[in-house]
Amino acid sequence: MAEYHIRMKELPSSAQPRERLRDHGAAALSDTELLAILLRVGVEGTNVLELAQQLLVEHRGWGGLMRIDYPELCKRHGIGEAKASTLKAALEIGRRLILTEHAERFQIKSPADAAKLLLLEMGHLDQEHLRTVLLDTKNRVQTIATVYIGSLNASMVRVGEVFKAALRHNSAALIVAHNHPSGDPTPSPEDVLVTREIVSAGRLLDVEVLDHLVIGQGRYVSMRERGLGFAGA
């Protein structure tokens, strides 16, 4: 027996997210309604709004849906490859839009400013990424470069690679950032050691290292504010 899919148009008109978006604008829609538009159809016994709500609850919101990998999402009953592709593409578009809007000549005045550029994406990565936010003489963002992917280990991270993009862009300063996939941004002894080596190299290369941010899920730690690895800087 063919599976019956409950389509958006079969919901009461007052409950149809597309019509609500048309009449009131996207900002008026709930997370459930926005996700329902992407999913388009539900599954037997579950309409698309119910399916959208279930997914948001199961994964604790958009952040969880961003973290789940594509193959796992495809296996979820009612999703499959088409819906998973649509959802992952939409989340990536949103991520890129936010990064672009924040990064274009954005001036860094505090650790919180730098964290705004990085928390959304880096807080949800399942591997450690080491990145540099490159700045001009007015602390305006030039670009964000990925230096390294993998466990942050002082014996594995080549300090010269940290400054490679900065020298190419003639950057006056940079901010180092890496994430903890566990979600806890508490700096480790390795983090302190790596920071100390990067700060020392920056002095030699005449590129100021303003900070090293450790990114967790929705939280971050500024190592400069805590005096970790920046003694005497």
Question: Quick one: average pLDDT of 138-150?
Answer: 88
105, pLDDT greater than 70: no
Question: What is the number of residues in the chain?
Answer: 233
Percent with pLDDT over 70 in the chain: 86
With a CB cutoff of 8 Å and minimum separation 6, the contacts of 194 are 152, 154, 157, 212, 229
Q: Is residue 232 a part of any domain in this protein?
A: no
Say yes or no: 133 and 51 in one domain.
Answer: no
Say yes or no: 120 and 92 in one domain.
Answer: no
* Exposure string over 89-126, b if 16+ CB within 10 A, otherwise e: ebbeeeeeeeeeeeeeebebeebebbbebbbbbbbbbe
- What CATH number did the domain enclosing 197 receive? 3.40.140.10
Spatial separation of the C-alpha atoms in residues 40 and 52, rounded to whole Å: 10
Say yes or no: 68 and 109 in one domain.
Answer: no
The per-residue pLDDT for range 157-205, each reduced to its tens digit, is 678 889 999 999 999 999 999 999 999 999 999 899 989 999 999 999 9
Question: Quick one: average pLDDT of 219-225?
Answer: 95
Say yes or no: 112 and 171 in one domain.
Answer: yes
Say yes or no: 52 and 157 in one domain.
Answer: no
What is the phi/psi pair of residue 153, to 5°? Answer: -130, 130
Highest mean pLDDT among 3-12, 19-28, 118-127, 219-228: 219-228
The per-residue pLDDT for range 28-75, each reduced to its tens digit, is 889 999 999 999 888 888 888 899 999 999 988 888 888 888 999 999
Among 65, 100, 135, identify where a domain stops.
Answer: 100
Average pLDDT of the residues of the chain: 85
Task: Provide the pLDDT for residue 3.
Answer: 44
Structural domain for 79, as ranges: 8-100
- Number of structural domains the chain divides into: 2
C-alpha gyration radius of the chain: 22
